[in-house]
Amino acid sequence: MAKRFELLVFDWDGTLLDSAGAIVDAIKAACRDLDLPEPPDERARHVIGLGLGDALRHAVPELSEQHYPQMVDRYRHHYLSRDHELQLFAGAIELIAELSEAGFLLAVATGKSRMGLDRALKTSGLGRYFKASRCADECFSKPHPQMLEELMLEFAVPPERTLMIGDTTHDLQMARNAGVAALAVSYGAHPAAALDALEPLARLPKVEELAAWLRMHA
């Protein structure tokens, strides 16, 4: 059967890497370091997927602009202290290997920095499968469509042959802004109802179900 999509673009945190809890914990720990009130879990989880500067501005709106460098520094300290403990979701390695073997072009669009993504691709062993990537310190932060637009231009793949896969409303809104179809996974950062409101092609609660959907429909 002919492929519906040629380019599959994955978010990283909360979609392939089980890191949402560590991100929330790092935001809260950074707030404690600066004697700021900790944001509620819902607000901290909502900013996952944004570029770090945008994420912290949303998560900690009471922080004055001059203190953002300190906040960024403390966040990175706490996140990196747990970075080595983080694991890919069960089945993620097998899924990406299968999709690569099937001939899909694979890419990443993430709120991580370039340094952070390169480290994650290396330590996870997935770097060899992804042909390109875009990060929040290279492009406008999600939900701006720049990451997807640049990836489609790089591979000369039109929007109708591109699929975005992510766990946040930022991913789905970016896809919508780029004119690209999207799949949601509900095992990551954002609640199912918020994902459904943006009308993805499907919302999958497990990696195994994501793999099954892609085999049947992609």
Catalytic residue, from 13, 83, 137, 196: name it: 13
Report d(CA 94, CA 87) in Å as an integer. 14
Catalytic annotation on 13? yes
Q: Is 167 a catalytic residue?
A: no
Residue carrying the six token digits 């509620």: 40
Q: Which of 11, 41, 73, 118 is catalytic?
A: 11
122 is written with which tokens? 């290396």
Enzyme catalytic residues? 11, 13
